[in-house]
């Protein structure tokens, strides 16, 4: 029987992250990172299991070459830390989960051996001693939480020495005792500053040369952070937007700059993109842009200022974007009146929803 590859990316810091942060947002962050790791699977590894904070991949009867395996490892680290960079750069939520997501790290365990399989609910899963060993290698004596570990069994097959060094990898030898048996391995800490992370521009911050056409203020008896969650978490939107037939969004994604959602209102599809603008340091701000309006564009911003621990002031600013004289007349005579009325109604409904929730 041929050797099969066992490959386990594991998110370091998961337990503390989930236990000490807002549950829903921490779940979304972890789900996004696991999706990123799955998409970074360039070697067509089979996904056997999602194990909470880890993925269990295998490649039956095949071990990729040294070059391919190291490239796969680098691709996963690059995708993982690029996404954390995106979350940090484009976040609009001040909650602890969103604020501390950048502290998460990644370790990857690579092992191999002869596999047996069991079938559970018609799904074939790897089984046997090598699978047990691979998972036990997650608990090791390496002081870092950001590393790749290759068991001796793997490193011998692909021909990589414990002295191997490159721009990203700097391997050392180590071993640990499991059930009275010593398992040797080589490992390399990963310096994320040496990864070629995806460069994310932030084109979602906008500036205006004129004052907003509509300004509406309302006080809420709730903390500023909680109010922002009600506004930015789209699962609440149908409770306070009148005439909303349907809302299309990714429920497993944390709302951030560039996030998109679709509101179907009275049969019309309105595509929205999350944007922002300058605000005072003590203010929370969330903005949306749509171009699916009779004028060129429409920006609305929700600016929240804390009054006390259990109260805040919300200011809604609306900027209609128009270029032609005719559209400016439409915005001035008709759209402004409609928007003012609908926004006031929405804020009243939001207040009622919060009081009932």
pLDDT tens track for 139-170? 999 999 999 999 999 999 999 999 999 999 99
Any domain includes 204: no
Q: What is the pTM of this model?
A: 0.85
Over residues 39-49, the mean pLDDT reads 96
Pairing of strands 268-275, 283-290: antiparallel
Q: Which domain holds residue 42?
A: 4-194
DSSP 23-91: HHHHHHHHHHHHHHHHHT-TT--EEEEE-SSBEEEEETT----HHHHHHHHHHHHHHHHHHHHHHHHHB
Sign of CA dihedral 124, 130, 136, 138: negative
Q: In terms of domains, do 82 and 171 share one?
A: yes
Q: In terms of domains, do 222 and 350 share one?
A: yes
**Does residue 95 surpass a pLDDT of 90?**
no
Q: Rounded distance, CA 41 to CA 36, Å? A: 9
DSSP state at residue 333: I
Over residues 125-138, the mean pLDDT reads 92
Residues β-bridged to residue 9? 108
Would you place residue 125 in the very low, low, confident or very high pLDDT band (cuts 50, 70, 90)? Answer: confident
Q: In terms of domains, do 228 and 85 share one?
A: no
Q: In terms of domains, do 296 and 149 share one?
A: no
pLDDT at 294: 77
Would you place residue 207 in the very low, low, confident or very high pLDDT band (cuts 50, 70, 90)? Answer: very high
Q: Rounded distance, CA 119 to CA 38, Å? A: 22
Of 321 and 302, the structure prediction assigns the larger pLDDT to 302
Over residues 273-293, the mean pLDDT reads 93
Pairing of strands 181-189, 244-248: unpaired
List, for residues 233-245, the tens digit of each pLDDT value: 999 999 999 889 9
Q: In terms of domains, do 65 and 146 share one?
A: yes
Over residues 315-338, the mean pLDDT reads 76
Any domain includes 201: no
Q: In terms of domains, do 12 and 143 share one?
A: yes
Lowest mean pLDDT among 70-84, 218-232, 297-311, 329-343: 329-343
pLDDT at 151: 97
Do the beta carbons of residue 212 and residue 321 sit within 8 Å?
Answer: no
pLDDT at 329: 66
Residue 191 contacts by C-beta under 8 Å, 6 or more apart in sequence? 168
Q: In terms of domains, do 250 and 177 share one?
A: no
pLDDT at 1: 60
């Amino acid at each position: 029987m041929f050797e099969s590859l066992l490959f386990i990316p594991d998110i370091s810091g998961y337990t503390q992250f989930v236990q000490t942060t807002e549950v829903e947002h921490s779940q979304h962050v972890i789900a996004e990172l696991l999706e990123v790791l799955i998409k970074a699977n360039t070697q067509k590894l089979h996904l056997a299991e999602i194990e909470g904070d880890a993925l269990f991949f295998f490649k039956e009867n095949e071990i990729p070459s040294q070059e391919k395996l190291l490239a796969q490892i680098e691709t996963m680290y690059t995708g993982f830390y690029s996404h954390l960079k995106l979350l940090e750069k484009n976040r609009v939520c001040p909650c602890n989960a969103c604020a501390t997501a950048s502290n998460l790290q990644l370790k990857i365990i690579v092992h191999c051996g002869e596999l047996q399989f069991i079938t559970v609910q018609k799904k074939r899963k790897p089984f046997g001693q090598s699978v047990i060993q691979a998972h036990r290698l997650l608990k090791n004596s390496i002081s870092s939480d950001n590393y790749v570990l290759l068991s001796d069994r793997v490193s011998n097959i692909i021909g990589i020495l414990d002295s191997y060094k490159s721009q990203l990898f700097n391997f050392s030898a180590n071993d640990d005792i499991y059930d009275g048996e010593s398992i040797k391995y080589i490992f390399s800490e990963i310096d994320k500053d040496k990864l070629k992370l995806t460069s994310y521009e932030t084109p979602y911050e906008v500036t205006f040369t004129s004052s907003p056409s509509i300004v509406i203020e309302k006080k809420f008896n709730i903390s500023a952070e909680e109010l922002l969650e009600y506004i930015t978490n789209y699962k609440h939107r149908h409770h306070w937007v009148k005439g909303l037939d349907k809302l299309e969004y990714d429920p497993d994604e944390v709302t951030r700059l560039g996030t998109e959602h679709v509101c179907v209102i009275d049969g019309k599809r309105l595509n929205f993109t999350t944007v922002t603008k300058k605000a005072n340091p003590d203010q929370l701000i969330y903005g949306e842009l749509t171009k699916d309006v009779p004028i060129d564009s429409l920006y609305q911003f929700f600016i929240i200022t804390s009054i006390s621990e259990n109260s805040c002031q919300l200011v809604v600013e609306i900027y209609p974007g128009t270029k032609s004289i005719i559209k400016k007349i439409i915005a001035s005579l008709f759209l402004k009146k409609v928007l003012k009325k609908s926004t006031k109604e929405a804020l009243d409904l939001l207040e009622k929803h919060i009081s009932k929730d």
